[in-house]
Amino acid sequence: MKKGSELPASENAGREHSLAILRTFIRQFPNGVFSFSTTVRVLRNPHRRVTAIRRAIPDVFRSPAPASAAPTTARTDVARPEFQKPLAYGPLQLESRYLLSPLAGFTTLPFRRIVRRIGGIGLATTDLVNARALLSRSERTMQMVETHPEDRPFAVQIFGSDAQVMADAARLLMELGVDTIDINMGCPVNRIAGAGAGAGMMCNTDGTIRLVQTVVEAVSIPVSVKMRLGWDSTSLTAPLFARQFEQVGVAAVAIHGRTREQGFGGTVSLPGIRAVVEAVEKIPIIGNGDVRNVADAARMIRETGCHGVSIGRAALANPWIFRQLHEWEQTGSYAPAGTFDERLSLMLQQFSCLEERYGSERAIILFRKMAHWYLKGMRILKRLRGDFQNVQTRAEMDVAIAEIRAAGPVDGNRSGVLTDVEIPVPHGPVDKW
């Protein structure tokens, strides 16, 4: 401590007394939530002393939890619409009509594995994969298409504007044992759409239909397409494309109810999705966009007549959503999402999947992005979320987790329902993304 910054004698005495008490607790409870070194660091700031002492006291000495902390087990009822027949992609029968949408950086194998463990999901799709990069077998791209026995059935979503390259990539994926291939025709990001891939394919009707047909004819596994309503409000071409795709052998179409011009702004057009449903004869149409909970999915199915629902960002905020949807379809009601402790357990399971593949140090770096959303959804103090982002080793991570477990949520309770967290989407002019 620098000269002139010493604490008064009474403060020093108080600090030493607190340390002595905490030494006793730590010796008696070796598995407690605070290491001694962490305690010393925190207690250097006298304003944190009370908080530190409270956290260091084992639960057995705490006051009884208030009545509001009782486990929340009440089920929520939502009226059920008329459902279409069970969902299938050609010969591939799916166990559920609720699907995980591809999300760059998030729908990785570890995340797909843990939502499978929760249950209720029919099909999970990888991040979007560059077809050319796949054919070059770059290390990063091959990691993106890795799977696991838990991850079945699974789809790989590819993007590109060259029909032959896309067909060759599809053949490679079939050789790797992929169950179904999805063609990205909806990504609005300029570097993809501006190169004629993603949503840019909606500006080239004949060329896009030929590309899709070439991919379908190159493989013997189901091929689906995910697209938007159109390029902008003056060219709502999705019904036309869906009708043509059915004729060339596409097994299913997923439709995001916005145009490329909208990006993620405004709201999804349910009438627009319904127009796509009505444009085809037999193949299933999967609705996507603005589905944050069971009630949103019910409205999507009721107003569009779609065969299934694909969910992306809502699954990051609530990985239990697929199980909730499946329960609701079967019974008309669903159980709450995971409690604080269940979410923490799920987060650690996902980290273990990463650690199993990459080792601790690399897994810690790769997990930071996903951990941010877990901890935000668990309503963890901003300071503790920041501390977790700075861990470098497994030992430091264990200390950070212990502090998080001890602190609990700031605006909920350990056994009750946590409030929803909003997962942000890109914003601003879409041509600048």
Phi, psi values for residue 36, rounded to 5°: -65, -40
Q: Do residues 288 and 257 make contact, with C-beta atoms less than 8 angstroms apart?
A: yes
Q: Do residues 125 and 113 make contact, with C-beta atoms less than 8 angstroms apart?
A: no
Cis-peptide, bond into residue 153, ω within 30° of zero: yes
**Which residues fall within 8 angstroms of residue 293, CB to CB, at 6 or more apart?**
314, 318, 321, 324, 420
Handedness of CA 292, 294, 295, 299 (dihedral sign): positive
What is the C-alpha separation between 317 and 335, in angstroms, rounded? Answer: 16
**Residue 43 DSSP SS3:** helix
What is the C-alpha separation between 86 and 297, in angstroms, rounded? Answer: 16
**Residue 103 DSSP SS3:** coil
Q: Which of 187, 203, 306, 353 is catalytic?
A: 187
Q: Do residues 181 and 224 make contact, with C-beta atoms less than 8 angstroms apart?
A: yes
> Which of 208, 248, 210 shows the shortest CA–CA distance to 227?
208
Give 27: exposed, middle or buried? Use CB within 10 Å, 0-12, 13-18, 19+.
exposed
> Which of 408, 407, 409 shows the shortest CA–CA distance to 56?
407
Q: Do residues 46 and 15 make contact, with C-beta atoms less than 8 angstroms apart?
A: yes
203 is catalytic: no
Between CA 372 and CA 379, with CA 373 as vertex, the angle to 5 degrees is 95
Question: 92-93 and 180-185 as β-strands: parallel, antiparallel, unpaired?
Answer: unpaired
Instruction: Give the C-alpha distances (Å, rounded to integers) separating 5 from 1, 8, 16, 59, 245.
Output: 7, 9, 17, 36, 74
Q: Which residues are catalytic?
A: 187
